[in-house]
Structure 1
Amino acid sequence: MNITFKTIKQSDSNVLHHLYNYYLYELSAYSMEDVTPEGKYIIEDISPYYLDPRLYPYLIMADKMIAGFILVTSPPYVSSGIDYSIQEMFILPKYRGKGVAREAALHIFKQHQGHYEIGMFQHNVKAVTFWSKLLSSLNIKAITETGDVRIAGNQLPTKSLRFFISGETIQSHVSNEIV
């Protein structure tokens, strides 16, 4: 499978909005959010992702088909001392378990090196396991922090990982280039 990446532009806004609703559907198992009376999830304003140059949105393509997206933030959208955060990553079910998420993360690490923070819901075992295994496979030590976030009136436990990515860390692990 050939994995490539396409920077999301304003002309791709409908695609991102559609995919984001699927993402929120899956995340609702942890966020406890409900759909609106129209059957959709409330999507915050995600237009800054394709309008603000300090944000890095990518469509993940598998054999030229959309496989998901990955959204990366940088200052001022991250905590003090952090250069980048992978805010959201979503892989369509058809492409899961095939290395697509790993390739997406490695692509981001190659493009954006520095201090990272990745947050997730503590009960999202798939996300926690994915990031822990990925960092371990790259011999990256991460500082783990726990906290909580309030969503839709619910206090939900979170987990974040802080770590550093350098060119040497991922040099041999990445082969894909941005399209």
Structure 2
Amino acid sequence: MEIKVRKTKTTDSGTLCMLWQFYQYHQSSFDQEDVGTDGRFDIDEQYLNSIVCGEQECAAYLIFVSDQVAGFATVETTEIRGKEMPELADIFILPKYRKQGVGKFVVQHLMQAVREQWHVAVYINDGLALKFWSNLFTQLNVALVEKVEPAETEGFHEFVITNA
């Protein structure tokens, strides 16, 4: 199984928007969001397009497993504890590719490539994501994982990760 992480290109806009629909579907189990009359979740496709085109301070990445689209991740700058740092803002792996080390590979690729602190926020009601991150924190080669308490963003568990 070959895993690749690639920054999105302008031609990836439709792919990212569709994957974001799946992401919203997952989140709807705990945020109770409904789909519109068109059967789609209300996502800001124009904003996602501007990310893909490099017009935002956010970078989007597509994840591939054996050359098949397997998910996406986004990284943006945030301020936490009075300090700006990169945040692994979103990560979504299609169910077919979960529990195979894909998420761990993506996190290592994006977070551990840079020697600095990173921020991760997990929705309080997203038990699957919290379990994923809790397990992953014990496997990563990092110097420190600190839970931000109280969280600076309402509705989230927040962590600052200091790379080794």
The interval holding the TM-score normalised by the smaller chain is: 0.7 to 0.9
Match of 1:97 in 2: 99
User: Any stretches of 5+ residues in structure 1 without a counterpart?
Assistant: 150-156, 170-179
Matched, 1:65 2:63: no
Output aligned runs, 1:1-179, within 5 Å: 1-44=1-44, 45-50=47-52, 51-52=54-55, 54-74=57-77, 78-79=78-79, 80-138=82-140, 140=142, 141-145=144-148, 146-147=150-151, 149=154, 157-165=155-163, 169=164
Indicate conservation of the 8 Å contact 1:84/1:112, yes or no: no
Deviations 1:123-144 (A, max 9, x none): 2122112112212222543221
Task: Give the distance between the partners of 1:131 and 1:48, measured in 2 at CA.
Answer: 29
Task: Give the distance between the partners of 2:56 and 2:36, measured in 1 at CA.
Answer: 31
Q: 1:105 to 1:139 in 2, by over 3 A?
A: closer
Q: Percent identity?
A: 25
TM-score for both structures, normalised by structure 1? 0.79
**Offset of residue 111 of structure 1:** 3.3
Match of 1:176 in 2: none
TM-score for both structures, normalised by structure 2? 0.86
**Offset of residue 40 of structure 1:** 0.6
Match of 1:173 in 2: none
Task: Give the distance between the partners of 1:113 and 1:132, measured in 2 at CA.
Answer: 21
Matched to 2:34, the amino acid is: D
Matched to 1:30, the amino acid is: F
Indicate conservation of the 8 Å contact 1:82/1:117, yes or no: no
Q: CA-atom RMSD, angstroms?
A: 1.8
Q: Which has the higher contact order (CA 8 A, sep 6+)?
A: 1
Indicate conservation of the 8 Å contact 1:54/1:73, yes or no: yes
Task: Give the distance between the partners of 1:135 and 1:9, measured in 2 at CA.
Answer: 30
